[in-house]
């Protein structure tokens, strides 16, 4: 009977050591995991930066296309003698000039 108790206590101690060791490892690695997660959230990978830049360029290109259509419409009205349309066309052209440096130029394909 005494031997059975001794074996049970010994096995329990070994099992408990594994649980304690696992808990200790988790407690020690937790700050490292938290810190690395924070750094990951604070930094931006190159692919994320590229995607963000691509979205910004597409937005500028879309805006430039809209402005070009509006500019053409206003120039047609200006040619018909509408002075207000001429003023609007100038304002649109100024905005287009401001946007153009942010839109990359694609090389000519021959």
Contact 74, 92 (CB under 8 A): yes
Cα 100 from chain centre: 23
The pTM assigned to this predicted structure is: 0.53
Give dist(CA 99, CA 110) in Å, integer: 27
Tokens in use for 5? 């108790």
Residue-wise pLDDT for 85-104, tens only, equals 999 999 999 999 988 887 77
Residue-wise pLDDT for 68-90, tens only, equals 999 999 999 999 999 999 999 99
Domains of the chain, residue spans: 1-43, 54-103
């Amino acid at each position: 009977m005494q031997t059975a108790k001794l074996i049970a206590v010994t096995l329990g101690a070994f099992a408990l050591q594994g649980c304690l060791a696992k808990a200790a490892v988790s407690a020690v690695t937790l700050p490292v995991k938290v810190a690395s997660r924070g750094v990951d959230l604070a930094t931006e990978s190159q692919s994320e930066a590229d995607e963000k830049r691509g979205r910004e360029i597409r937005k500028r290109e879309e805006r430039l296309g809209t402005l070009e259509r509006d500019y053409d419409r206003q120039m047609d009205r200006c040619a018909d003698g509408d002075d207000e349309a001429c003023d609007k066309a100038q304002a649109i052209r100024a905005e287009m000039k401001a946007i153009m440096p942010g839109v990359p130029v694609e090389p000519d394909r021959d």
